[in-house]
Amino acid sequence: MANYNIPEDNYYTKDHEWAQVDENMCTVGITEYAQDSLGEVVYVELPETGQKVTQGEPFGVVESVKAVSDLVSPVSGTVIEVNEGVLDEPGVINDDAMNEGWLVRIEMDSEKELAILMRAPDYRKLVNK
């Protein structure tokens, strides 16, 4: 079993995204487990800044040689920043999914939505199943 970096401070989804929350700002990426399962990421489709996203709804696509996966938003809100770096060089997601490979920053509509996301211990259980 691979030893994935699953920081305690983050929130996680069953779709294997991480969400790092700073007040009403939420940075979103895919987890190390997700990038490892996908293999070499070759293409990423992300929303434009200003676009609205909804918790549990797709907001983009991450594509590897093996598979195409929807990116599912962990929270509702407005996209205020997109990581142009991963659009140009999707391999960054494989190299550093938890930091440099972040995807979007979302201004959250409501922090209450965080209550249904997983914390690190639960997510660790999910990927070690």
Partner 1 sequence: MTPLKSEHEALGAKMVDFAGWFMPVEYFGMRAENLHVRSKVGLFDVSHMGEVRVRGAKSLETLQWLTTNDVSKLVNGAAQYSLLPNEQGGVVDDIIIYCIEQGRDYLVCVNASNADKDFAWMTANNRGAEIVNESAHWGQIAVQGPSGVELVARVFSDSKNKNAIKEIASFHFAPAEFQGALCYLARTGYTGEDGFEIFVPADKVVALWRALLEKGADLEAKPIGLGARDTLRTEMKYSLYGNEIDDTTNPFEAGLGWVVKLDAKDFIGKAKIAAVKAQGLKHKLVGFRMIDKGIARHHYRVVTIDNREIGKVTSGTVSPTSGETIGIAYIAADFAKVGQEIAIDIRGRAAKAVIVETPFIKKDSLKKKGS
Pair of tokens at residue 4: 């994935």
Q: Which is nearer to partner 1, 39 or 85 (CB)?
A: 39
Q: Which is nearer to partner 1, 61 or 116 (CB)?
A: 61
Residues engaged in binding partner 1 (CB under 8 A): 39-40, 42-43, 61, 63, 65-66, 68
* Residue closest to 116 by CA, chosen among 76, 80, 77: 76
For the CB of residue 30, give the shortest distance to partner 1 in the complex, in Å: 18
For the CB of residue 43, give the shortest distance to partner 1 in the complex, in Å: 5
Q: Which is nearer to partner 1, 16 or 113 (CB)?
A: 16
For the CB of residue 63, give the shortest distance to partner 1 in the complex, in Å: 6
Q: What is the DSSP letter of 115?
A: G
State the Cα–Cα distance between residues 103 and 85, nearest whole angstrom: 9
Query: Rounded to whole angstroms, what are the CA distances from 42 to 1, 46, 57, 85, 104?
Result: 25, 13, 22, 13, 18
